[in-house]
Amino acid sequence: MSYASAAALQEAVYQRLFADTALTASVGTAIYDAAPSGIAPKTYVSLGPEDAKDASDAGNSGAWHDFTVSVVTEEAGFHTAKDVAALISDALVDADLTLSRGRLLSLRFLSARARRVEDGDIRRIDLKFRARVDED
């Protein structure tokens, strides 16, 4: 195992989200590789933390990548955040992503956590996905 395909996976996920017309109709270009600095849009999507584990076997080198995509909104209630989270899930689950390094074998939803942050004024949903990447 190596971490060699991690950047390629992140780029492919970002491109997939940015190319999804339903998602961009909802949040525009507010899809970030990191939380925006300065004044953030009212609702945005941010790629977040990742954990990688070896998934190599006798014939292949690869890794499991568990990564987070977050929806953050100032909208009251969780409805807007959940709508955007559903669009993200629709765009990523079983997506056929082409990586610049390695090959994506699977991409699935693992879990989600919805919560209020910053004294309850902000709603945040962290969606966790698992990708299996073959590095050969």
Chain position carrying tokens 């949040």: 27
Measured between alpha carbons, how far is 59 from 134 in angstroms, rounded to an integer? 11
- Using only C-alpha atoms, what is the Rg of the chain? 15
Cβ atoms of 13 and 135 closer than 8 Å = no
Per-residue pLDDT of the chain (136 residues; tens, 9 = 90+): 678 899 999 999 999 999 999 999 999 999 998 777 889 899 999 999 999 999 888 777 889 999 999 999 999 899 999 999 999 999 999 999 999 999 999 999 999 999 999 788 999 999 999 999 998 7
Task: Enter the tokens of residue 84.
Answer: 């955007």
Cβ atoms of 133 and 99 closer than 8 Å = yes
Cβ atoms of 127 and 115 closer than 8 Å = no
